[in-house]
Amino acid sequence: MTKLSVDPIEELIAFASQVDACMIPPAVLAFQCKRLMDNLGCLAAGYDQSGVDAALSLARRWSGNAEASIIGSEERLAAPQAAFVNAVRARALDYCDVLSPGWHPSSSDIPVALAAAELSGASGLDTLAALAVGQDFAQRINLAAQANGFFYRGFDSNILGLFSGAAIAARLLRLDLHAFTDAIGLAFDFGIGTFQHYQDKTLAVRISQGLVARHALEAVLMAQAGISGPKRVLSGENGFFNLYAPGEPDLGLLTHHLGTAFLGEEATCFKLYPHCSILLALTEALLNDGPHRQLSDPARAKITLHASPTMRMVCGAPYEPQKTAEIDAQFSARYIIANALLRGQASAREFSAASATEPTVVALAQRIEVHEQHAFDRFDRFELHITPEQGDTLRLEAEFGRGWPENPADMQDIREKFLHCCAQSPSEGLRLNARKLMACIENLVEAPSLQALLAATREVR
């Protein structure tokens, strides 16, 4: 039998499985607390959004054990199913963090980490270290794949979350190197998602995030039970790079400063508005003060958006809200513009089904023209022309919306977002205990377990 060639993922796995939690720099652990707070806020706000009831009902049918918490309630399900439901809720409003090209790491990483830590009794430090190691693991693969081109080929790049999630759970469940390797291979074998669910504006956007979390944890549990997985995960004939990277990967980026630099913070976008990250700069520009805020009748203005090719592809379709109107709104440049001009705000409330189908806003959105500008190489770059019935044309242009690393949201932004999201949550525990939960998150590195944090999500005074 011919021996398989060494795959470059082996060095990443060796490091991820063996690095001591005490070796993770305090600043990296603090960033993981920021991720955790932001994502639990997103979960609180998305608690009863479309698709959640179905996800919870199915997860109950598929559960045989009460192993891990459904955040915000007393209910416990099998760990992969708890991660599934928590991930669907966290992703529901598209309010969660994102890394280019469209990977939403925390909405699967956090549910996996919480469920796996609850199973294993891991400490706060171990949980935060696992989150740091998992994000670093997948981001290195992401960078290597993108080295010679943007690597969308119609697949959902949340496949990267299978790598990060499996690394997180494998650490927290204390798998040895052999089983850790199988877990990563099995996670890759679950390859998830197609970009078509964004373009068709379906609930699969939310459900697929839950499947990433569930499959990552299932892969680790299978490896723990002795099931083997693929070994040549990155460079095999049908490995990740050959399937998904359009150009030759830069293998040097896989291990560049491995162990001294933990990647993630430098590339993470924290959203301050609950919609596609490509549109953050557009919303921000429209909500800022300016002559466009003084229009007497925006509905009668001629509005033309000149958008980057990526913005046009993902968010430039005609606005025709259908069965899942919330998702139509989250991924529509036309709706973003009409909403901001007519309502002057962009909170979760403006992305409900009722708001997304309000006739006046829909009518304006459908009159907006969108044209692709090939010269706009930054995906969120745009130029907006607004010509009122009387007066000169107003021009707005921007890129790097607030939240992207080039224009970052700070910790105070995340605290305010968290409290705002919890205040609107249908979960009484999350709504009433927001400040207590915030304190648990900010002090998690000292916590002997996650018991106090999980209790704070469900206690009702």
pTM to 2 decimal places: 0.94
Q: Which of 55-64, 79-88, 191-200, 281-290 has the lowest mean pLDDT?
A: 191-200
pLDDT for res 151: 56
Q: Which of 17-26, 104-113, 219-228, 288-297 has the lowest mean pLDDT?
A: 288-297
In this structure, what token pair is assigned to residue 192? 């998830």
Could you tell me which residues come within 8 angstroms of residue 66 by beta carbon, excluding any fewer than 6 positions away? Answer: 76, 77, 78
Q: Which of 95-109, 195-209, 210-224 has the lowest mean pLDDT?
A: 195-209
pLDDT per position as a tens digit, 342-370: 999 999 889 999 999 999 999 999 999 99
Does residue 336 contact residue 282 with C-beta atoms inside 8 Å?
yes
Please name the helix (run of DSSP H) or strand (run of DSSP E) that holds residue 395, with its range, or none: strand 394-398
In this structure, what token pair is assigned to residue 412? 């105070």
In the structure, what pLDDT confidence band is assigned to residue 205 with cuts at 50, 70 and 90?
A: confident
Q: What is the mean pLDDT of the chain?
A: 94
Query: What's the CA gap between 82 and 115, in Å, rounded?
Result: 7
Of the two residues 296 and 21, the one the predictor is more confident about is 21
In this structure, what token pair is assigned to residue 385? 């022309």
Percent of the chain with pLDDT over 70: 98
Residue 407 predicted with pLDDT over 80? yes
Does residue 357 contact residue 327 with C-beta atoms inside 8 Å?
no
Of the two residues 61 and 147, the one the predictor is more confident about is 61
Residue 3 predicted with pLDDT over 60? no
Average pLDDT over residues 128-145: 96
* Alpha-carbon distances of 122 from 70, 132, 173, 401, rounded to whole Å: 18, 15, 8, 37
pLDDT per position as a tens digit, 46-81: 999 999 999 999 999 999 999 999 999 999 999 999
Residue 2 predicted with pLDDT over 50? no
pLDDT per position as a tens digit, 445-456: 999 999 999 999
Q: How would you label 357-388 residue by residue, b for 16+ Cβ within 10 Å and e otherwise?
A: ebeebbebbeebebebbeebeebbbbbbbbeb
Average pLDDT over residues 405-428: 96
pLDDT per position as a tens digit, 225-237: 999 999 999 999 9
| Site of tokens 């007066």 | 391
Residue 1 predicted with pLDDT over 50? no
